[in-house]
Amino acid sequence: MKFSLFVHMERLDADQSQQSLYDEFIELCEIADRGGMHAIWTGEHHGMDFTIAPNPFINLADLARRTKNVRLGTGTVVAPFWHPIKLAGEAAMTDIISDGRLDIGIARGAYNFEYQRLSPGLDAWGAGQRLREIIPAIKGLWAGDYSHEGEFWSFPSTTSAPKPLQQPHPPIWVAARDPNSHEFAVANGCNVQVTPLWFGDEEVESLMGRFNDACEKYPEITRPKIMVLRHTYVGTDEADIEQAAREISVYYNYFGAWFKNEKPISQGLIERLSAEEIAANATYAPDVMRRNNVVGTPMEVISRLKHYEALGYDEYSFWIDTGMSFERKKASLERFIADVMPAFAG
């Protein structure tokens, strides 16, 4: 099982400098590269300081000049916010800039807040249909002389300019959850990205079951790869680990607030949650976060990941966005590289 870093700029407080957040983002990526991680993933979000990521290709092009070995992935671009010609061209240019290190992850998007602003009236179903239309279209554009007459986009014969360095194209990954999305990914020869979010290992097992079912439905398709993404913290002792669980609890409370899209937002920041609101939300309670996420000592983390490897996951992505201080993120990542990854060196 390979390891990757899933990372963004995240701003929860008006006192945080966006420039310093980018500098910290770069340093974490450089640590991942030097430490022998397989890939770095960063995504796309708009108008929300909770996850600052307006165009992942810009970040990846910058990382291409700052890193040597890691693959560089979009985790993920949001399909309904792109035209196929624009997506094919920007991805191909990033592949050239990165000397063929690009992986392209594509999703339907998650936040109604973004749908309201970039595509008013869009819902998750409509976004998913656009995802299903855009993937064959960008493949056609990379092949060249491709015309398209679809439900959402139509254009005459066009060739992506430029074409990607990797042939026939960079690996494509689909963010999948329900059985239909797994089946679409496998049927179209795409790799799969999954996350159980705040749920426990039973969800990790269920997601693998959906993927296996999709592979069995399309036996003529070479089995794609599957990656699992989880919030991760490697601690030094129980007090450190308990602090991490509390921090991840706060993070998920804000994640839930953004997802519900009910609280006021000003200057890109959502209204602060009170300590009472956070304490009242049992779903994200610290003990639940400690139990469900990959949070623990190096040996505890190794044990969890060995189980994921045995289930058949090809890649584990260390989701480092947690609202923690940069120093705590950095220390946990360094412990993961030094104390966890060597257990999987074979």
The predicted pLDDT at position 65 comes to 98
| Amino acid (one-letter) located at 160 | S
Closest CA to 127 of 53, 172, 192, 177: 177
- Please say whether the beta carbons of 74 and 42 come within 8 A: yes
Binned at pLDDT 50, 70 and 90, residue 304 comes out as: very high
pLDDT of residue 224 exceeding 80, the answer is yes
Give the pLDDT confidence of 140-194 residue by residue, as tens digits.
999 999 999 999 999 999 999 999 999 999 999 999 999 999 999 999 999 999 9
pLDDT at 346 exceeding the cut of 80: no
**Confidence band for 250, pLDDT divided at 50, 70 and 90:** very high
How many CA atoms within 13 Å lie on the side-chain side of 29?
A: 29
pTM: 0.98
196 C-beta neighbours (distance < 10 Å), count: 20
Peptide bond into 222 cis (omega under 30): no
The helix-helix angle for 326-335 and 18-34 (nearest 10°) equals 10
Identify the pLDDT of residue 248.
98
Tell me, letter by letter, the H, E, C secondary structure of 26-80: HHHHHHHHHCCCCEEEECCECCCCCCEECCHHHHHHHHHHHCCCCEEEEEEEEHH
Per-residue pLDDT, 212: 98
The predicted structure's pLDDT at residue 184: 98
Rounded Cα distance, 189 and 169, in Å: 12
Q: Residue 125: count other Cβ atoms within 10 Å of its Cβ.
A: 8
User: At 2, which amino acid appears?
Assistant: K
In Å, how far are 8, 75, 205, 209, 329 from 340, measured between CA atoms? 22, 23, 21, 26, 15
Residues 136 and 188: their CA atoms lie apart, in Å, by 8
Contact between 293 and 204 (Cβ < 8 Å): no
Distance CA 259, CA 243 (A): 24
Distance CA 208, CA 255 (A): 24
Domains of the chain and any CATH numbers: 2-244+293-344 (3.20.20.30)
What integer pLDDT is reported at residue 140 of this predicted model?
A: 98
* Type of residue found at 87: L
Using alpha carbons, list the distances in angstroms from residue 185 to 46, 72, 220, 247, 340: 25, 20, 14, 34, 30
Specify which residues 106 forms β-bridges with. 77, 174
Give mean pLDDT, residues 221-228.
98
Q: Region 222-232: what's the mean pLDDT?
A: 98
**What share of the chain has pLDDT > 70, as a percent?**
100
The pLDDT value given to residue 175: 98
Angle at which helix 56-66 crosses helix 84-97, to 10 degrees, equals 10
